Structure 1
Amino acid sequence: MDQLITDWLTEYLSPYFKANDLAVDINTSFDTLGLDSVTRVEMIGALEEAFGLDLDPVLGFEYPTIKSLKQQIIAQEVTHA
């Protein structure tokens, strides 16, 4: 599931990397990509739907990169399994 989440987030955020003329990097902050609060909450909602997860909407603020968000989701799922 680790790589699936990374791939999903990379694909989801691809337009933001392109709009900012940035190479896709899992350590790029969501701030750098220009994600506002609505976009972050929508991203978490889309993640929930795509993977059947129950996620706190604030995760997009507390874990502001693809890498950190993915790691938290994996850790949370292991804890709840």
Structure 2
Amino acid sequence: MPVPTTGHTTESLTTWLAERIALYLKRRPAEIDPAVPLAEYGLDSVASLSLCGDIEEDFDFVLEPTAAWDYPTVQALADHLIKEFAAEAAGAAAKGGAA
């Protein structure tokens, strides 16, 4: 079941992303520095697609497969997701749906 996209913080998403990326790269989450470009860790297109799939599955949010390159660090990706989740919630509220 998807996790609601509202109520997340940049910190919670940073932690979630670091844990997920560490899993793909066979590292400990503590080894993933949110400010280091993911490409420096060896994140490839397969892992990037897996990450997008996990975001869609866990948050019910479709993310473009190029996101890991458009937002090349965990921090940048978390910031982007927060903005997208807020925009999605605002759009739902404007339509009279639940935010």
**TM-score normalised by structure 2 residue count:** 0.68
Distance (Å, rounded) in 2 between the aligned partners of 1:17 and 1:32? 14
Any conservation in 1 of the 2:52–2:62 contact (CA below 8 Å)? no
Displacement of 1:32 = 0.6
Q: How many residues are matched? A: 79
Displacement of 1:69 = 0.4
Q: What percent identity do the matched residue pairs reach?
A: 28
Distance (Å, rounded) in 1 between the aligned partners of 2:54 and 2:67? 13
Query: For structure 2, which runs of at least 5 residues remain unmatched after alignment?
Result: 1-7, 90-99
Counterpart pick for 2:64 among 51, 56, 59: 56
Any conservation in 2 of the 1:17–1:33 contact (CA below 8 Å)? no
Distance (Å, rounded) in 2 between the aligned partners of 1:14 and 1:42? 12
Counterpart position of 1:71: 79
Q: Which range is displaced more, 60-69 or 9-18?
A: 9-18
Larger Rg: 2
| Pairing 1:5–2:16 present | no
SS of 2:27's equivalent in the other structure is helix
1 or 2, which has the higher helix percentage? 1
SS of 2:52's equivalent in the other structure is helix
Counterpart pick for 1:31 among 39, 45, 65: 39
SS of 2:65's equivalent in the other structure is coil
The Cα offsets for residues 12-63 of structure 1, whole Å up to 9 and x where unpaired, read as 12253738xx833101111111011121111111121112212222211100
SS of 1:18's equivalent in the other structure is coil
Any conservation in 1 of the 2:55–2:62 contact (CA below 8 Å)? no
Displacement of 1:67 = 0.3
CA RMSD of aligned residues (A): 2.0
Counterpart of 2:65, as a letter, is: P
Distance (Å, rounded) in 1 between the aligned partners of 2:66 and 2:53? 11
